[in-house]
């Protein structure tokens, strides 16, 4: 198996291709975000990133964030969420837990308090089940800050929530009224 550093590099490259820019290697995703595994492997290798089926399966199985999923036949792959391109993941609206969490950086707090959580270039706002995950997400952007999201109240007020294949809760927008400073 490849060294961890190389596996991480390939995983990040797959995130770019399957979430944001499939045109980087000349593939097209279907409407649900699926890519043909054979074509993906061929195009990734042609691009200069060495990847075989065994390594791809290893990356999907061991990625701590479960960023990727295979279909039942393992002949198609897609990113679980986080797309900046327009796809339909096929998730159904479901009732979230009472509270969810969103990690960000301290420098973004005032802006978020003014406008709420916005999806910006992504298809959804991403929310976590637990504070620990939200802290890790927030650390990617600077000193972390965690908001508590009153998800059940939002749901009662007719906001939609979706649970991605890797356990991330998704919604279109969280208005400021549904945000609390986490304890």
> pLDDT tens, 87-129?
887 889 999 999 999 999 999 999 999 999 999 888 899 999 9
Architecture of domain 4-79: Orthogonal Bundle (1.10)
Task: Find the mean pLDDT for residues 26-31.
Answer: 95
Task: Find the mean pLDDT for residues 22-30.
Answer: 96
Cβ atoms of residues 77 and 38 within 8 Å = no
Give the start-to-end residue ranges of the domains of the chain. 4-79, 100-181
Percentage of residues of the chain with pLDDT beyond 90: 79
> Per-residue b/e over 81-90, b at no fewer than 16 CB within 10 Å?
bbbebebebe
Instruction: Indicate whether this model's pTM tops 0.85.
Output: no
Give CA–CA dist 56/12, Å, rounded: 12
Confidence of residue 141 (pLDDT cuts 50, 70, 90): confident
DSSP 104: E
What is the CATH number that goes with domain 100-181?
3.20.170.30
Helix pair angle (53-62, 37-47), 10° resolution: 100
Give CA–CA dist 20/35, Å, rounded: 13
Percentage of residues of the chain with pLDDT beyond 70: 99
> Per-residue b/e over 44-70, b at no fewer than 16 CB within 10 Å?
beeeebebeeebbeebbeebebbbbbb
Helix pair angle (53-62, 4-15), 10° resolution: 90
Give CA–CA dist 37/170, Å, rounded: 26
- What is the pLDDT at residue 90? 82
């Amino acid at each position: 198996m490849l060294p961890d550093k190389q596996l991480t590099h390939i995983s990040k490259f797959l995130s770019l291709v399957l979430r944001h820019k499939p045109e980087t290697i000349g593939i097209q995703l279907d409407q649900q975000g699926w890519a043909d595994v054979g074509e993906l492997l061929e195009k990734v290798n042609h691009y200069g990133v060495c990847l075989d089926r065994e390594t791809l399966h290893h990356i999907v199985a061991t990625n701590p964030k479960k960023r990727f999923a295979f279909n039942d036949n393992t002949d198609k792959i897609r990113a679980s969420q986080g797309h900046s391109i327009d796809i339909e993941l096929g998730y159904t609206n479901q009732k979230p837990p009472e509270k969810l969490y969103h990690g960000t950086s301290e420098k973004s707090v005032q802006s978020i308090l003014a406008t709420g959580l916005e999806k910006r270039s992504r298809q959804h706002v991403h929310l976590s089940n637990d504070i620990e995950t939200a802290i890790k997400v927030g650390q990617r952007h600077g000193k972390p800050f965690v908001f508590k999201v009153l998800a059940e109240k939002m749901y009662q007020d007719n906001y939609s929530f979706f649970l991605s294949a890797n356990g991330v809760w998704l919604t279109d927008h969280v208005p400021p009224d549904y945000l609390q400073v986490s304890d």
